[in-house]
Amino acid sequence: MKRFVATLVALFCFAIAPPSRAQSDAAAGLAQAPVNAETWAIISTAGRHGTSQRWSADGVRWSRDSILLRGFVTEVDQQMRLGADGVLQSLTVRGTTPSGDAAETFRVADGAYQFLSPVDSGGAALPAGAFYASFGGTLDSTIALIDYLRSRPDHAIQLLPSGRAELVQLATRSVSNGRETKTLTAYAIVGFGLSPFPVWYDGDRFFAYAGFLSYIPVGWEGVANELSAAQDEALSGRATALVRDVGPRTTTPVYFQNVRIFDAEARRFRNNQNVVVVDGRITAVGGRSVRAPAGAQVISGEGRTLTPGLWDSHQHFSSDDAGPLLLSQGITNIRDPGNRDADLMARRARINEGALLGPRIIASLLIDGEGPNTAQMATVARNVEEGMAAVHHAHEAGYFGVKLYGTLEPSLVAPIAAEAHRLSLHVQGHIPHGMRPLEAIRAGYNEITHINFVMMQAMPDDVVQNSNGLPRFYGTARYAADVNLRSPEMRAYLDELARRHVAVDPTISIFEGGYVPEMGEIAPAYAPFMGTMPPAVERGFRAASFATTEEVSREQMRRSQQALMNLVSELHRRRVTIVAGTDGSGLELVRELELYVQAGFSPADALATATIVPAQLFGVGEETGSIRVGKAADLVLVEGDPGRNIGDLRNVVVVMRDGRLMQADALRRAVGISGPPHRAN
């Protein structure tokens, strides 16, 4: 499963060589698949992004993955040797990913194993029947692991270097490519990550993986959406059980007694308050005069703080299990800025119907141009007519707005934005290639996504001309530290952002994770969760940083990270609307707020970016975002005082959403988290 780390990193980040040259350079010296190799197409709703191939030669099982995803290049090959019982005996991975060198080895000898990956190394006596879960590598690493799981009597195995996985059967499905029909079986690997990992088999042979990025046999690409829908339907029973067991609606009033509350509208914390909730609505807020109704469930607020439910304003809602995970972090509302259209709307409907635990979802439709760097999950607009059609679809399907992306032709921005505004849709996005942010906002942007695109105004032309991918990430890392934010040009630009009431979604914590730690180190966003997550997830946390280059050292990246922090500070000083988002799993949200405090925000102002500010920006400020009589009881109870230490927001005890009173511990257990995050000293 870890072969997906590189592509997941590409989801959460942004590119000085043209992709075609970068890809050919990365592929130099790697094995070339023979013409009879098994081949899977790597696709998304936006088109094809690469291939995965496997073959055998001289007793070695070879494989090769070649991916170009939004300008992020992955070129790796892999050699495996399996024992007669299917257990992995050796593995060698070569090549590059967006995080750098992919080199990885695993060997068994004399009853012991040794491994070396880009993020860790080790070895020990080999437990009987244990299987090494590769950190990276190709699709074939996962195929070999699943094949072995299927062969075990209990379909469970110990993983190396740590962890345990089991395989459960989900469903069967008959599919056709127009020439032949196959009856496939879906399985899910449980225990490896924070949600079940579904795969499809044709009899005893691996067939496909369907997800945001699907691996489908060449000639069968048309069944990807069908398989995705079928596995989601099969997993939905688990989600329904969680609603019953973890999040039943309350039938009696709830009384939060003697609690500190965050008054988001006043940007202040108030001590010794009582809050009453009846039928999912806040009916009273105040001091001693507010008493518990008859039969109320009383929840002590001693040493605790009650805040409005948090917003993650940049959250790609990816699976049923994303709901409990987000709720366990106190995140009861999200803005999804780009997803698989049908999957997202189906999940939102199930949440609204009470069949799935999850946050309120405000959605934007992702629109990009056509090319090798087109964003996965994008609606492609090659001309004005297709741009208009995408905007009309967004309006008719109930989207809040549209998100424009880097491959989109700059000439399309103004007409798309004008039509979106005519239909009362919000316009946000990355900055298309060849544009600077000032041009984009003058063409109709209401919001800039990611702090590097705010900094793009000062970047050299060779960075601005790129569309999606690493040049925009490394360009910022190389040049941001030398930008003078107090120059007349930058002051005029930032003043115009404020004057035009342009919002910004900084996601600065992902830049910290990419720029600051060395490969193998834990980014600050994830450090509080170490020791509580499935081992493979914690191993993945070590892969956030971007590789250094001849032009960009780690020290230069760190200096540029500080420059981005200074830019956030300048935006705040001008009272530019800032909404906190992660572009990650949600675990990063409190770190985002900690960075705002480091940038000069008060804790109250930082917390407002994840409560009342997004609620108002997204048009639901009268329903949620603050603790006020008449509003929905969208609430989070945390241990501690975020007014003194914003990090206390991680200490979630109880969450209320949609009339459901949920224990954070139960939500954590539902997704395989063993306990609460570590509290700072």
Amino acid occupying residue 528: P
CA 467 – CA 71 distance, rounded (Å): 8
For the chain, which ranges sit under pLDDT 70?
1-26, 680-681
CA dist 43 → 26, 55, 66, 190 (Å): 20, 21, 12, 24
pLDDT of residue 6: 36
Which of 553, 552, 578 minimizes the C-alpha distance to 565? Answer: 578
Buried b / exposed e over 152-172, threshold 16 CB at 10 Å, is: eeebebebbbebebebbebbe
pLDDT of residue 260: 98
Amino acid occupying residue 598: Q
* Main-chain dihedrals φ then ψ at residue 168, nearest 5 degrees: -125, 145
pLDDT of residue 100: 85
Which of 588, 576, 70 minimizes the C-alpha distance to 366? Answer: 70
pLDDT of residue 26: 61
pLDDT of residue 336: 98
pLDDT of residue 11: 34
pLDDT of residue 377: 86
Report yes or no: 632 and 624 within 8 Å, Cβ to Cβ.
yes
Report yes or no: 112 and 125 within 8 Å, Cβ to Cβ.
yes
pTM: 0.91
CA 552 – CA 566 distance, rounded (Å): 20
CA 497 – CA 499 distance, rounded (Å): 6
What's the number of CA atoms in the CB half-sphere (13 Å) around residue 332? 30
Three-class secondary structure of residue 386 per DSSP: helix
pLDDT of 42-64, one tens digit each?
998 878 999 999 999 988 999 99
pLDDT of 108-117, one tens digit each?
999 999 999 9
CA 648 – CA 641 distance, rounded (Å): 6
Report yes or no: 618 and 362 within 8 Å, Cβ to Cβ.
yes
Tell me which DSSP letter residue 148 carries.
H
